[in-house]
Amino acid sequence: MKKRKTVVDILQMKGKETISSLTAYDCVTAALLERAGCDILLVGDSLGNVLLGYPHTLQVTMEDMLRHAAAVARGSKQALLVADMPFLSYQAGLESALQNAGRFLAESGVQAVKIEGGKRNQMLIQRMVEIGIPVMGHIGMTPQSVHTFGGYRRTGKTSRDAETLMQEALAIEEAGAFAIVLECVEHEVAAKITSELKIPTIGIGSGEACDGQVLVINDLLGYSLQPPPGFVKPAIDLAAMVSETVSNYIQQLKKS
């Protein structure tokens, strides 16, 4: 059996092989995605919108995340598992952030955590890495700050914003993160950040130059009540397939 990917493996993929990452929130999906070759399974706090029906990720709790992260860990043997730290689990102080990050590794069995934000997290990332918690950064459109952004929008449009993003990315790298998500970053800016950094960039809506790509699995499969973001073209319409299959089943049932 293949051994589980580590953060070192992911770091070494930069410049050699495109890194594949998808969100997973449950055991079965985790098993299927890694069987298909997915390098990183991200237990995203997008589960708030995607699974739990919240309007944002802001309502997602540590307990929600730990439960889903543990389910993904039970279904997975080979992919690197990364869990999102939910809103307010790392912003309220260093001590509580370290405790919460540690719970993901100790209780749910993932190998790394992801936190949103750049420079402001530099010290926190450094401390997490020092005590053995690998960290993935996340900049650009960071959904936990949706109210500050005034909605979901693209980032890096002006040269000033582009420079800020570059500085944020460098700060995260310097702090010791093993990879960084670039969400809805203008493509040329993402390309520049990718070429400057030694750690891999994982893009979502940020163009093809990133070292890897991540998508919300429900967007890729067309399994959602909402239309997907503009940068995703669902590969299938799973929602329609489910509706049709269940409708056929019920019609058969009623006939018999």
Which residues participate in catalysis according to the annotation? 183
**In the complex, which residue's CB is closest to ligand KIV?**
44
Residue 1 vs 70, nearer CB to ligand KIV:
70
Burial 180-200 (b: 16+ CB within 10 A, else e): bbbbbbbbebbbbbbeebebb
**Residue 65 interacts with ligand KIV (CB under 6 A): yes or no:** no
Smallest distance from ligand KIV to CB 77, Å: 22
Output helix, strand, coil percentages for the chain, rounded to the nearest 5.
Answer: 45, 15, 40
Smallest distance from ligand KIV to CB 216, Å: 5
Among 39, 45, 168, 173, contact with ligand KIV (rule: CB under 6 A): 45
Among 181, 197, 210, 220, contact with ligand KIV (rule: CB under 6 A): 181
Of residues 191-250, those binding ligand KIV (CB under 6 A) = 204, 214, 216
**CA torsion angle 192 195 200 203 (round to 10):** 30
Q: Residue 54: what residue type?
A: Y
Question: What is the rounded distance in angstroms from the CA atom of residue 92 to the CA atom of residue 97?
Answer: 7
Residue 1 vs 225, nearer CB to ligand KIV:
225
Give me the residue label for tokens 């936990």.
Answer: 144
Residue 136 vs 171, nearer CB to ligand KIV:
136
Residue 31 vs 47, nearer CB to ligand KIV:
47
* Residues 6 or more apart whose Cβ sits within 8 Å of residue 139: 116, 117, 118, 165, 168, 169, 172, 180, 181, 182, 183, 185
Of residues 113-172, those binding ligand KIV (CB under 6 A) = none
**Residue 46 interacts with ligand KIV (CB under 6 A): yes or no:** yes
Question: What is the rounded distance in angstroms from the CA atom of residue 52 to the CA atom of residue 125?
Answer: 29
Which 8-state DSSP code applies to residue 171? Answer: H
**Residue 84 interacts with ligand KIV (CB under 6 A): yes or no:** yes
Interface contacts to ligand KIV, rule CB under 6 A = 23, 42, 44-46, 84, 181, 183, 204, 214, 216
